[in-house]
Structure 1
Amino acid sequence: METVLLYLLGILIVVVGLVLSIGLHEIGHLVPAKAFGVKVGQYMIGFGPTIFSRKKGETEYGVKAIPLGGYISMSGMFPPQKTAEVAEDAVGGRVSAGRTATTGMFQTLVQDARTASAETVDEGEEQRTFYRLAVPKRVVIMLGGPVMNLLIAIVLFGVVLCGFGVQQATTTVGSVSECVLPAGSTSTTCPAGATQSPGAAAGLQPRDEIVSIDGTRVSSWDQSTAIIQKSAGEKLDVVVLRGHQRLTLEVTPLLTKRYVTDAAGNIVTDSSGTRATEEVGFVGIGSAYARVQQPVSAVLPAVGSNVASVATLIWHLPERLVGVAQAAFGGGTRDANGPVSVVGVGRMAGEVATLNSVPVLDRAGYLVGLLASLNVALFVFNLIPLMPLDGGHVAGAVIEGVRRFVARLLGRPDPGPVDTAKVIPLTFVVVTVLGAMSLLLIYADIVNPVKVG
């Protein structure tokens, strides 16, 4: 029963965090929109049927049933069709100026978008429309949401790194191998006739704090490892603190083969898939880990690294989705660094919350970090220059600004606002693709979820 409650608690934390992130994202749009005088009819968290709403002033604030997004309804998102514009119908014919072409699904979508936008404009308040704003103001409004997610991520990463801290290897010995085992061995016992490890032979013990190796003062575990690995067959004087006693032990690293690992600790393979090995000095000791609070200066680099990782994931999303589909319908292991849905994030949170073998602080730090990464994903994803994403509206405003600048430069008349309603058919395609992608990820996260740890 306790496990079930912890699992539900983990999911609840993510759901509440997601809803708050969406709400703050929309506030990032709402505040500058109102500051610039745009009429905002609705501020909604979620989609679907309205659960609760309350009107304050000219804006209705509410919560809807499906907490997978949100929106604010601004007056005049799309400019009206030019009266002198000549539209083409679906079969290539032409319609006279001032008459609207409604033949064909896509033309209907465009006209419906224009009509819905026009209905939000009250008589006498045409100046309070979004499309009439100066380009910089529109960019500020549309970037307000993603920037809010970025700020949330920075705060949450600050809580994780500077508040909870992160587990780091220390200069204290955490384990000492009794014998030397071949690379890749999973044995937990020493077979008969196995060679005693240099660490055990020298008398090193868990909780010994390494002070120096062969006269070089040691300040990190990586530093001690580097010295040991390049000193195979050489006698090294290792000074340790054991309790309050300072001891000098003589250790001779043994030359042995070990797998080559990258910066993330993953085993490196060559072009044929064979695991790469190298001959290095080996003592047979492992580090003790401790939670270490990071300086504030570590927060922005961590956020930047996460932004780069998400951007790379999105850039390679098509091939990643192929892998997800293969894992969902053909079995196999999901990529731990691949895309997941909200369902997958919830499952991961629930599984982490139930890991009784992991300290509570570590579990709490993981959940906060998960929400931080989720906000980074919202920031990066919304910058994609495709409508209905925020980046699509930004792109439309920038294109309009460039057109007007070029017109002024060439002494031509103001070309007017860019008719972003014309890209509604593309928006329809984008929404369809995003919906299909979401359904695939949700299905995969149900039948073959990403494993935690």
Structure 2
Amino acid sequence: MAYIVGIVLFALGICISVALHEAGHMLTAKAFGMKVRRYFVGFGPTVFSFRRGETEYGLKWIPLGGFCDIAGMTAMDEITPDETKRAMWRFKTWKRTVVMAAGSVMHFILGFVVLYLMAVTMGLPNLHPTVEAVIGKTSCAKAATTTEQVNNATCAPGDLVPAAKAGLLPGDKVLSVGGKPTPTWNDMLNTVQAAGGPTVFQVQRGGQTLPITIDIPRVQRLLTDNSVKEVGMIGASAANPPGLLSYGPVDAVGKTVSFTGTMFSETAKRLVEFPQRIPAVVNSIFGGERDPNTPVSVVGASRIGGEAVERGLWPLFFFLLASFNFFIGVFNLLPLLPLDGGHIAIVWYERVRDWFRKLRGKAAGGPVDYTKLSAVTLVLVVIGGGITLLTVTADIVNPIRLP
């Protein structure tokens, strides 16, 4: 039941995101004096609708999108005589840009609000743990093949602590392990677990960089999937370990801004990697192992959200919701039709074109003829539809699951 509730809640979060996206278009259009004919959430048959002023508001049965019908969004749109002066394409370039970008801005605002509320309540994920070794009574390298042994981290006298034996001190910053740079704690952890025997650690201590050789033992450890694996351990822990970091209401603002910047950077990387990950999605549909880094659809994201709620991982649930909003916001600004970014690109093409025409003493060229772009738009719609179908299919037959 918790799993189903999680799926429903995540789907509801997506619906709210879509509603706010379209509300961004509507509110800015109305603020500039453009006529908004309709504002609907969802597609398909109408559940209900009502009219307030000149705008019809409503809800449709299929909650997988929505639309805001602004009169004269392009010069091709049919408009009535009373709408002529308020047609969107007649307004200044910057106003049309603001209206088209407002949908993505609403996603960014929603994502920021979710992260801020996380920061002051449950905490934000610590994406960059400090790579400092701390030697203490709980830092030892010993086998742990049961849950009880993992939870009992107390070291007895004489337990093996390779890091302390080699001379690693509290506050030492590990720069590399066996010649491999370790900029984050996870990098160091993964490198140590894969190593064994005498290994050189480059350590920053105060203003000095020192080489320390640690004899890394291989011990049996219980993993998160309940399997047992032999890994390397040195008996050191992070000074600022991975996990959730909570902040006060004031500090949370700056931390959320910084965290949002990191998420924008990661989102951009994922978009660049998007095309090369599609073959892995196809492979997973036909029985291949599903790479957790492959794209997911709304179906897949909702399933992961359901699993997070089922396990009580509410921080993960809200982090996924914020990530979804940032991704959709950035993706929607790509300069491709029929995305908002495509319309913005055309608006600015008209502006630059007319500027060059003015320099040559010619009149403005008028609105772009969208019929000439219909073939390109159709190709992009087909490609987008195909990718959506692939990811939805993969998320049904071979979904990404939490470890």
1:14 and 1:346 in contact (8 A); partners too: yes
Q: Do structure 1's residue 57 and structure 2's residue 53 form an aligned pair?
A: yes
Q: Could you tell me which of 326, 335, 339 is aligned with 2:283?
A: 326
Q: Which residue of 1 aligns with 2:99?
A: 141
Q: Which residue of 2 aligns with 1:154?
A: 112
Q: Which residue of 1 aligns with 2:184?
A: 263
1:143 and 1:390 in contact (8 A); partners too: yes
Q: Which residue of 1 aligns with 2:211?
A: none
* Distance (Å, rounded) in 2 between the aligned partners of 1:336 and 1:135: 41
Q: Do structure 1's residue 344 and structure 2's residue 294 form an aligned pair?
A: no
TM-aligned CA distance change 1:335 to 1:34, over 3 Å = same
Q: Could you tell me which of 359, 365, 369 is aligned with 1:415?
A: 365
Shift in Å at residue 56 of structure 1? 1.4
Q: Which residue of 1 aligns with 2:84?
A: 126
Q: Do structure 1's residue 379 and structure 2's residue 329 form an aligned pair?
A: yes
* Distance (Å, rounded) in 1 between the aligned partners of 2:66 and 2:44: 10
TM-aligned CA distance change 1:402 to 1:188, over 3 Å = same
When Rg is computed on C-alpha atoms for both structures, the one with the higher figure is 1
Which ranges in structure 2 are unaligned for 5 or more consecutive residues? 148-152, 172-176, 202-213, 217-233
Shift in Å at residue 380 of structure 1? 0.6
* Counterpart residue type for residue 46 of structure 1: G
Q: SS state of the match for residue 331, structure 1?
A: coil
Q: Which residue of 1 aligns with 2:343?
A: 393
* Counterpart residue type for residue 19 of structure 2: G
2:297 and 2:391 in contact (8 A); partners too: yes
TM-aligned CA distance change 1:412 to 1:451, over 3 Å = same
2:42 and 2:63 in contact (8 A); partners too: yes
Shift in Å at residue 232 of structure 1? 5.0
* Counterpart residue type for residue 137 of structure 1: K
1:23 and 1:70 in contact (8 A); partners too: yes
Q: SS state of the match for residue 427, structure 1?
A: helix
TM-aligned CA distance change 1:66 to 1:174, over 3 Å = farther
* Distance (Å, rounded) in 1 between the aligned partners of 2:360 and 2:168: 79
1:259 and 1:268 in contact (8 A); partners too: no
TM-score normalized with structure 2 length:
0.76
RMSD: 3.5
Q: Could you tell me which of 438, 443, 449 is aligned with 2:388?
A: 438
Which residues of 2 match residues 360-371 of structure 1 at below 5 A?
A: 360=312, 363-371=313-321
Q: Which residue of 2 aligns with 1:89?
A: none
Q: Could you tell me which of 224, 233, 240 is aligned with 2:166?
A: 233
Q: Could you tell me which of 29, 33, 46 is aligned with 1:33?
A: 29
TM-aligned CA distance change 1:407 to 1:266, over 3 Å = same
Q: Between the two proteins, what is the percent identity of the paired residues?
A: 34
* Distance (Å, rounded) in 2 between the aligned partners of 1:391 and 1:397: 10
* Distance (Å, rounded) in 2 between the aligned partners of 1:264 and 1:45: 44
TM-aligned CA distance change 1:174 to 1:438, over 3 Å = farther
* Distance (Å, rounded) in 2 between the aligned partners of 1:17 and 1:310: 19
* Distance (Å, rounded) in 2 between the aligned partners of 1:174 and 1:326: 47
TM-aligned CA distance change 1:166 to 1:201, over 3 Å = farther
Shift in Å at residue 265 of structure 1? 2.2
Shift in Å at residue 402 of structure 1? 0.4
Shift in Å at residue 305 of structure 1? 1.6
Q: Would you say how many aligned residue pairs link Structure 1 and Structure 2?
A: 348
Q: Which residue of 2 aligns with 1:74?
A: 70
Shift in Å at residue 291 of structure 1? 4.8
2:140 and 2:159 in contact (8 A); partners too: no
TM-aligned CA distance change 1:312 to 1:166, over 3 Å = closer
Shift in Å at residue 77 of structure 1? 2.2
* Distance (Å, rounded) in 2 between the aligned partners of 1:174 and 1:166: 28
2:333 and 2:339 in contact (8 A); partners too: yes
Q: Do structure 1's residue 284 and structure 2's residue 235 form an aligned pair?
A: yes
Q: Could you tell me which of 254, 261, 273 is aligned with 1:304?
A: 261
Q: SS state of the match for residue 89, structure 2?
A: coil
Q: SS state of the match for residue 62, structure 1?
A: strand
Q: Which residue of 2 aligns with 1:95?
A: none
TM-aligned CA distance change 1:387 to 1:60, over 3 Å = same
TM-score normalized with structure 1 length:
0.68
* Distance (Å, rounded) in 1 between the aligned partners of 2:168 and 2:73: 75
